[in-house]
Structure 1
Amino acid sequence: MKQILIKNGLVITMNGQRQVFEGGDVLVAGDRILAVGMVAPEQIMDDAEVVDAKGKIILPGLINTHVHLSQQLARGIGDDVDLLTWLRQRIWPYESSMDLEDSYISSLACCLELIKSGVTTFAEAGGQEVDGMGRAVAESGLRANLARSTMDCGEGLPTRWQEDTQVALQKQEELLKRWHGQAEGRIRFWFSLRTIFNNSDELIKRTKVLADQYGVGIHMHVAEVLEEIQFARESRGLPTVEHLAKLGVLDRNFLAVHTVWLSDKEIDLFALHDVKVSHNPGAAMKVLGFARVPDMLDRGIPVSLGTDGAPCNNRMDMMSEMYLTSLIHKGRTLNPQVVPAEKVLEMATIYGARCLLWEDEIGSLEPGKKADLIMINPTSPSSLPMHDPIANLVYAMNSSNVESSMCNGRWLMRGRKVLTMSEEKILQVTQERAAALIKKAGITLPERFPVIRTAAQ
């Protein structure tokens, strides 16, 4: 079994004691961590690969709990519009025009950006062409929960997406059987509910039954906009979260995304049922509002971080999300001590693992856990001097500081060079494929300034 010894770095373990080892080591054997901290010489094999991490920071790979792989080719088509315009006039025409190859290319491009920003694990919120997503994730070397965007009702759905409840559930079961446990166990499949706008009560209840039957989770956009709460009251008689509680879907395997419009009672319901939360600050700040993250953390609710998709956040960059999270709640509450740097780092690592029901294997650097880690080079004008490494990671560094990453004991990136994919080829095909897809979808974007097209064009 091949060994990799990463030695003499600043190891931020995120273990139960939150230990940090200065001049510490991490010994990897196969796909797992063998030792952390001070590694005994007798544990190291003669042919081990040795990486000198002097001056570097070693920490668990970042975990992004809300991603839309299929939306990567749509970056920039949904800016400066309200949510329903964004959804019905931009994203639905775009996504419903995708084929399997579009999904594959979009997913490759997204995985590339995730790797370069320090992500080793993510949760896909659900697209239509899951086979394209799975193929890309398998090739990228990343760890992921995949899902299919599931809807059985709602106004304005593209014809291609209109299906009854039984078909929606059957397709998800087929995908679970095809993808769950694939790619050396790096891929899991979860059930997905798009929103209460597009999910019948029957679909919600039967999804819960299947998720429990297969021992997996449910990924759903919840309490995203005020219009959703009004819709839920008018159509179901209760706001979204209270209605989900009535249906019996709130549980430890339920991941609620955004959760911007929650009442005190609904936060209590989350805490009572051990519901998991994905906070997406970049996407929320564009149109959704301020999630009550400090209140949820105070109630012991595991809140993780996600980027959402490229057309609503524009940046699939968890380093940016950590920075935003650290700022917006301080500004909203006028309390500089809420959501401190160490809490943000927990949200991006061990809390993310809890939210994806993967905490037994990832989220911290501990013997026996999967070898998912990143190496940070703090030597940059924007991040030095470094008096407080934890604070600098959250408040000063960015994705360019992520130098290397490993998932399942395999190097995905070394020295900023991605090893599992051709970055140059992906970037080229991404632009070409995106332009063709937007034209196919019939989406025309307004010109913000007068454009003079020269003869050279």
Structure 2
Amino acid sequence: GPLPRNRKRTVSAVLSGSLPAASDSRLSVVWTYAAPGGGAKMTQVTAVSADIVLHNAFVVTMDGALTVLRDGAIAVVGDRIAAVGPSADVLGAFPGAAQTLNLAGRILLPGFVNTHVHTSQQLARGIADDVDLMTWLHGRIWPYESHMTEEDSYASTLLCGIELIRSGVTCFAEAGGQYVSEMARAVELLGLRACLTKSTMDCGDGLPPNWSSCSTDDCIQSQKDLYEKHHNTADGRIRIWFGLRQIMNATDRLLLETRDAAQELNTGIHMHIAEIPYENQLVMRMKKIDHGTVTYLEKIDFLRNNLLAAHSVWLNESEISHFSNAGVKVSHCPASAMRMLGFAPIREMLDSGVCVSLGTDGAPSNNRMSIGGSDCRESI
């Protein structure tokens, strides 16, 4: 399950303003950019004007050749990036641009994708510092989250989204909250792309009273309803995935029915997996297996290529192979991992062909939502 793509390829340098909506008749032929042998080539285009030309930038194209233009430019027409190339060429092609911005050597690159975010936790920054994960969950975060209102969720998502945008993120994967409709309302206003999930749990310790009454049927049906209501809304920017908080709070029935429902709807699953040694130890004891969460998920045939496994710190060699064989994707959150979880075997995963992405986790785990911040760089 890939993260959603929009026709508009937003870049971080233009996040402070909104791009004009939908198709634009001013652009009759879209520019194409190619870099055979590292060179730049632009094909002919007929366009009256561009809405904005950003030039004199260090442009990271992320094309097949990973071309970088040291004095590059892009032109935006309507909701499309219409040209990418050397500044002189792009400026010459769009002399009548409505706005021209000299970036003075700043870096211009496609928007980041943050693959593990808790929007509902933005208002809880700093409430769970210096505690272990189980205390963090049972004593701090879940009591906080369980008392949130719909309006709290909306405000929290807005604040989280603003911080994400400021750090260059244009798409994120929500790890699971309670009020997905309010998340969707905020995401639509912010202009971001997002994979939104509801956090589901149907058993286990630590659940607040108003969560412990949620049955397996309720967990599954509520997510199907959210998919029906919000999937592919906001001009295709919002996707609804299924969410499982963690194996310690999920019955086998919830795991397997979530697997089947997500597969039937061709959508993703977001789940915290193998975060701490205690999790693996509990699974080994309760499920009578020789290792932990991933070993058990493989045993019950849960692993699929639409699964985004958050953290995945405590995996052994065979479990990394299980991920690779099933096509499971991993969200690595280095800053929060260094605070509470431990060192994930990232090099081993990459060597085994596992797709590993970066996430920030929630504000109480990280105290910042900058995916490119010094905390992530230092932890890596």
Establish whether TM, by shorter chain, passes 0.5.
yes
Question: Does 1:177 find its partner at 2:228?
Answer: yes
1:236 deviates by 2.0
- Is 2:154 the partner of 1:104? yes
1:237–1:42: structure 2 CA closer, same or farther, 3 Å change rule? farther
- Tell me the distance in 1 between the aligned counterparts of 2:349 and 2:376: 14
Cα drift, residue 54 of structure 1: 3.1
Greater mean alpha carbon deviation, residues 69-78 or residues 5-14: 5-14
Shift of 1:44: 3.7
* Counterpart in the other structure of 2:356: 303
Asked if 1:229 corresponds to 2:275, the answer is no
1:76 aligns with 2:126: yes
User: In the alignment, which of 28, 32, 52 is matched to residue 80 of structure 2?
Assistant: 32
SS in 1 for 2:247: coil
Question: Is the contact between residue 12 and residue 19 of structure 1 (CA under 8 Å) also seen in structure 2?
Answer: yes
On the 8 A contact 1:83/1:287 being kept in 2, the answer is yes
Name the structure 1 match of 2:7.
none
RMSD between aligned residues: 1.8
- Deviation at 1:222? 0.3
State the Cα distance separating 1:187 from its structure 2 match: 1.1
Alignment of 1:264 with 2:348, yes or no, is: no
Q: Report Cα offsets for 1:348-370 as digits up to 9, x if no partner.
A: xxxxxxxxxxxxxxxxxxxxxxx
Aligned match for 2:189, one of 119, 122, 139: 139
Measured after TM superposition, the shift of residue 53 of structure 1 is: 2.4
Structure 1 partner of 2:266: 215
Are 1:23 and 1:54, in contact at CA under 8 Å, matched by a contact in 2?
A: no
SS in 2 for 1:152: coil
Offset from partner CA, 1:57-105 (integer Å, 9 cap, x none): 1011111110001011111110111111111111111011011011111
In structure 2, do the counterparts of structure 1 residues 28 and 249 end up closer, same or farther at CA, with 3 Å as the change threshold?
farther
The corresponding residue for 1:204 is: 255
TM-score (norm 2): 0.82
Task: Specify the alignment match of 2:174 in structure 1.
Answer: 124
Distance 1:104 1:325, change over 3 A: closer
Q: Distance in 2 between matches of 1:84 and 1:57?
A: 41
Deviation at 1:247, TM superposition (A): 2.3
AA aligned opposite 2:173: A
Q: Give yes or no for the alignment of 1:245 onto 2:294.
A: no
- Deviation at 1:311? 1.1
Residue 62 of structure 1 corresponds to 112
How big is the shift at 1:159? 2.0
What does 1:306-345 align with in structure 2 at a 5 Å threshold? 306-320=359-373, 323-328=374-379
Q: Residue 110 of structure 1: CA displacement?
A: 0.8
1:345-424 pair list within 5 angstroms: none
| Counterpart residue number, 1:430 | none
Partner-residue secondary structure (3-state), 1:5: strand
CA offsets 1:406-451 (integer angstroms, 9 cap, x no match): xxxxxxxxxxxxxxxxxxxxxxxxxxxxxxxxxxxxxxxxxxxxxx
What are the superposed Cα offsets for residues 389-422 of structure 1, whole Å, 9 maximum, x if unpaired?
A: xxxxxxxxxxxxxxxxxxxxxxxxxxxxxxxxxx
Following superposition, the deviation at residue 33 of structure 1 comes to 2.3
Q: Residue 319 of structure 1 aligns to a residue in which SS?
A: coil
CA shift in 2, pair 1:86/1:41, >3 Å: closer
Q: Distance in 2 between matches of 1:142 and 1:290?
A: 31
The answer to which structure, 1 or 2, has the higher relative contact order (CA under 8 A, 6+ apart) is 1
Matches of 2:111 and 2:184 in 1, distance apart?
A: 20
Is the Cα contact below 8 Å between 2:84 and 2:90 reproduced in 1?
A: no
Distance in 1 between residues matched to 2:357 and 2:375, nearest whole Å: 13
Is 2:62 the counterpart of 1:14?
yes
How many aligned positions are there? Answer: 327
Structure 1 residue 35: Cα displacement: 2.6
Structure 1's 156 and 127: CA in aligned 2 closer, same or farther, altered over 3 A?
A: same
Task: Give, in whole Å, the separation in 1 of the partners of 2:69 and 2:97.
Answer: 25
The runs of at least 4 aligned residues of structure 1 exceeding 3 Å deviation read 38-49, 323-329
Question: Which residue of 50, 54, 61 corresponds with 2:100?
Answer: 50
* Cα distance in 2, alignment partners of residues 325 and 310 from structure 1: 14
* Secondary structure of 1:197's aligned partner: helix
In structure 2, the CA distance between the partners of 1:45 and 1:188, relative to structure 1 (3 Å rule), is: farther
Which residue does the alignment assign to 1:153?
203
- 2:117/2:175 contact within 8 Å kept: yes
Residue 161 of structure 1: SS of its match in structure 2? helix
Instruction: Output the CA distance in 2 between the equivalents of 1:41 and 1:311.
Output: 45
Asked if 1:195 is matched to 2:246, the reply is yes
Partner of 1:283: 336
Mapped contact 1:10–1:24 kept (Cα < 8 A)? yes
Q: Is the 8 A contact 1:236 1:243 kept in 2?
A: yes
Q: Which moved more, 1:201-210 or 1:94-103?
A: 201-210
- Supply the distance in 2 between the matched residues of 1:123 and 1:24 (Cα, whole angstroms): 31
Structure 1 length-normalised TM: 0.69
Query: Identity rate of aligned residues, in percent?
Result: 50
1:4–1:237 distance in 2 versus 1, CA, 3 Å: farther
1:294 aligned to 339, 347, 369, which one?
347
Q: Distance in 1 between matches of 2:309 and 2:198?
A: 16
SS at match of 1:249: coil
How far apart are the structure 2 equivalents of 1:43 and 1:310? 44
Tell me the CA shift for residue 277 of structure 1: 0.6
Question: Partner letter of residue 201 of structure 2?
Answer: M
2: distance between equivalents of 1:324 and 1:295?
Answer: 22
Q: 1:45, CA displacement in angstroms?
A: 7.9
The one-letter code of the counterpart of 2:211 is W
- Once the two structures are superposed, residues 292-327 of structure 1 have per-residue CA deviations (whole angstroms, 9 ceiling, x without a partner) of 11111122211111111111111111122xx44544
